[in-house]
Amino acid sequence: MTAPVQTRLEKFDYVEGRHRYCVLRLSQTLFGEWCLEQAKGPIGAPGGQQIRAYFHQHGEALQNFEALRESQVKRGFVPIPVQLGLL
């Protein structure tokens, strides 16, 4: 079993006063599939959403994870170092 991969991205727009986050997490389910989860929304305000996609192959899930991360970076999000808890 491969360790989960997680990235937190944040975007601060001081002109409009909008602060947003996006957390991407890739982990294996109990059934052996790979789950790519995206949680996003405003920082410090109610709301947000979670989106999950399931893949049979780790390589395919990792490619989608990287593509999603790159698309968020292009939109102005910046990766924030986050430490995962002990497994």
**Do residues 39 and 20 touch, judged by C-beta distance below 8 A?**
no
Tokens of 31: 């059934």
Provide the sign of the torsion angle of the four alpha carbons 23, 27, 29, 30, taken in this order: negative
**Where residue 85 falls among pLDDT bands split at 50, 70, 90?**
low
Residue 40 placed within a domain: yes
Range list of H helices, the chain: 58-74
34 within some domain: yes
Q: How many independent structural domains does the chain possess?
A: 1
Q: Is residue 86 part of a domain?
A: no
Domain assignment present for 52 = yes
Does residue 67 have a pLDDT over 90? Answer: yes
87 in any annotated domain: no
In a domain, 13, yes or no: yes
| Structural domain containing residue 24 | 5-80
Residue 47 placed within a domain: yes
Q: What is the mean pLDDT of residues 64-85?
A: 87
- pLDDT tens digit sequence for 10-56: 999 888 888 999 999 999 999 999 999 999 999 988 889 999 999 99
Q: How many CB atoms lie within 10 A of CB 80?
A: 12
